[in-house]
Amino acid sequence: MPLVSIPEASKWASEYLDKEVTPANISYLVQYGKVKKHGENGSTMIDSHDLKNYYESSQGKREVSWKKHLGNDLNWALSFDHLREKDTTKHVHRLHPYKGKYIPQLVQYFIDNHTDDFKKQTYFKPGDIILDPFLGSGTTLIQSIETGMHSIGIDVSEFNCMIASCKATHYDHEYLQKSIKKMLAALDSFEHDNKVQDFENELLAELAKFNNKYFPGYEFKYQMNQNGADESSIAAEKQKEFLPIYQKLLKKYSIKLKQDVSDSFLDIWFMDNVRREIDHVFKAVKNEKDIKVRKLLALILSRTIRSCRATTHSDLATLKEPQLTTYYCFKHKKICKPLFSIKTMLNRYAFDTLSRVKDFDQLRKPVHYSAIAGDSRSVNIFDKVEKQNPEFSKILKKQKIAGIFCSPPYVGQIDYHEQHAYAYDLLGFKRKDELEIGPLQNGQGLEARRSYVQGIADVLNNCKKYFIDDPDVFLVANDKYNLYPEIAEKSGMKIVNQFKRPVLNRTERDRTPYSEIIFHFKLK
């Protein structure tokens, strides 16, 4: 049998796929049972035929399959299929989770002043001003800074503006590191009942014993991925079997699960001890004197508590109901537990943030940016930028905005405020759900679509006041209702080109082939 080591498999796969496949990529396939593990005592070997079958079934034939489903006009060059996750989540782009954002390489492709056989023209140049009227988590803002262009982002969500601003801010690294350590020390010195730590230690030991017996690592995962067993029935049986062990430990250590009240998101979705830790750390964060650092520490805490919600690993992106007991995890294929402390996550995200900020500072160019909390349909961009940055305001009024690169909200698909409900509760921002365009609760019916078209057109008509004479406007959308021709008409623009791209590596369980279009608008 042609067994190869992890490094050998990495080399073979890189040559076979004509792109870099790291040993870590191969280890991931083994860890999650995509290919079978052979060998013991730390010497992991895999069957090269097994690896080839995996790539042929899920990778090598993907482009052909997707074009069959989505049409031959699908532009695979814009799939960025060759990139690793670490590339698409580089530096500050991963400071905080955000649903529905595009990868930075897509922005870079259209705003960078390079040329290639496909594009054959450039749209912007260094020193131009790029606008994103649907700022989100700030991807366009950050890529503009990296590329050497001034940028402005607008969003109705104050928290979104905070995410983008924290990413874009230049920090004193030494001071930031001291502040981070001070925040972590505050949690270390938190006077809480040590029974929680003792409880978790014993629970982890019991889980390890149980999982090693019934879910023996790679072999079990491989069987599940090969459809060799009824995973759901096994999951239900073993989840029920472990529950008494968990309940016995809760009683032994007198662990309190639920909080006394359930009036807010923070009350409902966090274990009692986790909530107490959150409140304690947040008090320490509010004592930070430097306002920019204070915001970044708050963002670290927000990222942390998102990962510490009482839910299953599979439901982190879309919450279903609070998970206060041990459960079978379909992601890790074993019995997992909810979190009883934020300490591990807070430490991990704090130092990850510091590292990413430093990485971005090596790449950023000396340009201006502005993140504006407001309604893009009516906001006065000149006034807002002047209040934030008078120097940038002079450049803006002289140069005007060269164009837009943004992804408007999709009609009736995402509840943009609710996805960060924990942060609104923690930070005290006022929610402005009523200003969302195409909100989830309005659905995707005829009236919702009409309102959406008018909303996007209103945004473009307001932004036109600040454009140069011949701007380039790029809007990323999955236009399944064919709304964008009407949006162009209502905003006094025309669609001059459109680029259809496959959207790969989606986080949702639904892996159905999915595409989006980058519409290129020009003024009539």
Instruction: Note the pLDDT of residue 73.
Output: 80
Using the predicted structure, report yes or no on whether residue 482 has a pLDDT greater than 50.
Answer: yes
CA–CA separation, 521 and 235 (whole Å): 51
| In the chain, ranges of CATH 3.40.50.150 domains | 75-160+364-523
Per-residue pLDDT tens over the stretch 327-384: 999 888 899 999 999 999 999 999 999 999 999 999 999 999 999 999 999 999 999 9
The pLDDT of residue 17 is 79
Question: Is residue 393 scored above 80 in pLDDT?
Answer: yes
Give the rounded percent of residues in the chain with a pLDDT score beyond 90: 68
Which tokens is 100 given? Answer: 């529905």
Q: How far apart are CA 356 and CA 338, in angstroms?
A: 28
pLDDT at 21: 81
User: Would strands 334-336 and 327-329 be described as parallel, antiparallel, or unpaired?
Assistant: antiparallel
Strands (E), 320-431: 327-329, 334-336, 369-373, 401-406
CA-closest candidate to residue 339, choices 308, 361, 314, 373: 308
- Distance, CA of 317 to chain centre: 9
**At 129, phi and psi to the nearest 5?**
-110, 120
Per-residue pLDDT tens digits for 10-43: 899 888 877 778 887 788 788 777 788 887 666 8
Under 8 Å between Cβ of 279 and 301: no
CA atoms within 13 A of residue 58's CA, in its CB half-sphere: 14
Q: What is the DSSP letter of 331?
A: T
Of the pLDDT bands very low, low, confident and very high (cuts 50, 70, 90), residue 64 is low
Q: Match domain 75-160+364-523 to its CATH number in 3.40.50.1110, 2.60.200.20, 1.20.1630.10, 3.40.50.150.
A: 3.40.50.150
Q: How far apart are CA 80 and CA 100, in angstroms?
A: 17
- Asked if residue 506 has pLDDT above 70, the reply is no
* Lowest-confidence pick of 302-306, 437-441, 502-506: 502-506
Least confident residue range of 56-65, 124-133, 470-479: 56-65
How buried is 455 (Cβ within 10 angstroms: 0-12 exposed, 13-18 middle, 19+ buried)? buried
CA 382, 152, 432: angle at the middle one, nearest 5?
Answer: 90
Does 119 score more than 70 pLDDT?
no
Averaged pLDDT, 390-414: 96
SS3 316: coil
Count the Cβ atoms, other than its own, within 10 Å of residue 459. 25
